[in-house]
Each structure stands twice: as structure tokens, then as C-alpha cells.
Amino acid sequence: MRHTVKMPRAGETAEVVVILEWLVEPGSRIAAGDPLVTVETDKVSVDIAAPVGGTLVELLAQPDDEVPIGSPICVIES
């Protein structure tokens, strides 16, 4: 089953975050709760955890991309 991961809220007021670094390469297996991507808000950098376990199959956002909260960022297949 494919799960499209959407950018969760990374701060109380942030509506947009910047992707700093992917911590997992496409093709890698991950568990729910593993760090997936580091993002930056206007106030802080934070790691976003994978909401589900499986294999990361596609990145939908790249480093330096500005991503609105709720936008798709990657696809994980379980």
C-alpha cells in the first residue's frame, strides 16, 4: 500500500517550511517514528518523523524547497 506523506505542522505559527535535508534515501526501509527529513521554520530546525513504516519510494520535495503545511513531501510503500 502506498502512503503519501504530507508535511505536518512543524511549529505553532509556521505555514511554510524549507526542506533542509532528507535523512533517508529512496529505496531505504524505515520504521514509523524514524527521522525522515529535517525542515526549517522561521524560528527553528526540526526533524520530521515517518508516520508509517515501509520503503521510501519517492521524494516529492527537494532540499531548499519551500513546502506549505499539508503538502505532499514523499511516498512510503508498506
Note down pLDDT in tens along the chain; length 78 residues: 999 999 998 777 889 999 999 999 999 999 999 999 999 998 889 999 999 999 999 999 999 999 999 999 999 999
Which pTM was predicted? Answer: 0.92
Q: What is the pLDDT of residue 14?
A: 84
Are the CB atoms for 68 and 9 separated by under 8 Å? no
CA–CA dist 53, 73 (Å, integer): 15
Q: What is the pLDDT of residue 22?
A: 98
- Sorted by where each begins, the domain ranges of the chain are 2-77
Query: 2-77 domain in CATH 2.40.50.100?
Result: yes
Q: List CB contacts of 68: < 8 A, sequence separation 6 or more.
A: 7, 15, 16
Q: What is the pLDDT of residue 18?
A: 96
